[in-house]
């Protein structure tokens, strides 16, 4: 069973995409719901708000334990920020889970007006082949400023990593759920099943 953290952000669309991939997926808001899933999608939204809601819903400890025990996780946009090892410009009360060795800058591409779309070359989707026709939607997206050892960069925009993978964790700085292309979700599901 897959879960989608459903505290804030684009969680409903992720659930729809996962259902379209033929996967049972539930919205996760409580530690009990988290206990019932084998992997978790952390959606885009507002990372500092999401961090506060994780705390107020009593999820911080359980989520930290599950992620530290290598529960597969897919973080998109704000989810990338929450899974990063280092948030360069986070709020003082904002805590990330440090499960992928990257440093990110929130809203690194700019404000809402600076949002954009780009066709990406992503390694590993479509049966392992690199494709360059993945349309990515960047909305107040984070920028990856450092990639640590053991982190694979699967896609970049102008030399800046936008899809990274390490162990059981996959992150993207854009919103793959906002298009009709489910290949990045399927890459995560293949990784979970493998």
Residue of 14, 164, 177, 185 marked active site: 177
Angle formed at CA 31 by CA 27 and CA 35, multiple of 5 degrees: 80
Tens digits of residue pLDDT in 119-139: 998 988 866 566 568 999 999
Residue of 14, 164, 175, 185 marked active site: 175
- Asked about 152 being catalytic, the answer comes back as no
Tens digits of residue pLDDT in 14-62: 999 999 999 999 999 999 999 999 999 999 988 888 999 999 999 999 9
- Residue indicated by tokens 């709020």: 91
- Its CATH class, for the domain covering 2-193, is alpha beta
Q: Has this prediction a pTM greater than 0.75?
A: yes
Poorest-pLDDT segment among 48-62, 108-122, 164-178:
108-122
- Asked about 65 being catalytic, the answer comes back as no
Residue of 14, 27, 32, 77 marked active site: 77
- Asked about 77 being catalytic, the answer comes back as yes
């Amino acid at each position: 069973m897959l879960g989608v953290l459903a505290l804030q952000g684009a969680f409903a669309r992720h659930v729809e995409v996962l259902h379209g991939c033929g996967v049972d997926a539930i919205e996760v808001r409580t530690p009990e719901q988290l206990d019932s899933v084998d992997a978790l999608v952390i959606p885009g939204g507002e990372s500092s708000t999401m961090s506060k809601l994780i705390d107020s819903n009593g999820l911080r400890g359980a989520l930290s334990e599950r992620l530290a025990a290598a529960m597969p996780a897919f973080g998109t946009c704000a989810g990338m920020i929450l899974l990063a090892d280092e948030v360069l410009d986070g709020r003082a009360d904002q805590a990330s889970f440090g499960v992928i060795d990257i440093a990110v800058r929130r809203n690194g591409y700019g404000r809402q007006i600076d949002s954009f779309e780009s066709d990406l070359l992503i390694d590993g989707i479509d049966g392992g082949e690199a494709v360059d026709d993945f349309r990515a939607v960047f909305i107040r997206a984070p920028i990856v400023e450092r990639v640590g050892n053991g982190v694979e960069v699967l896609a970049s925009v102008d030399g800046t990593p936008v899809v990274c993978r390490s162990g059981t964790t996959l992150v993207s700085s854009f919103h793959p759920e906002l298009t009709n292309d489910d290949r990045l979700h399927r890459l995560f599901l293949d990784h979970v099943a493998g």
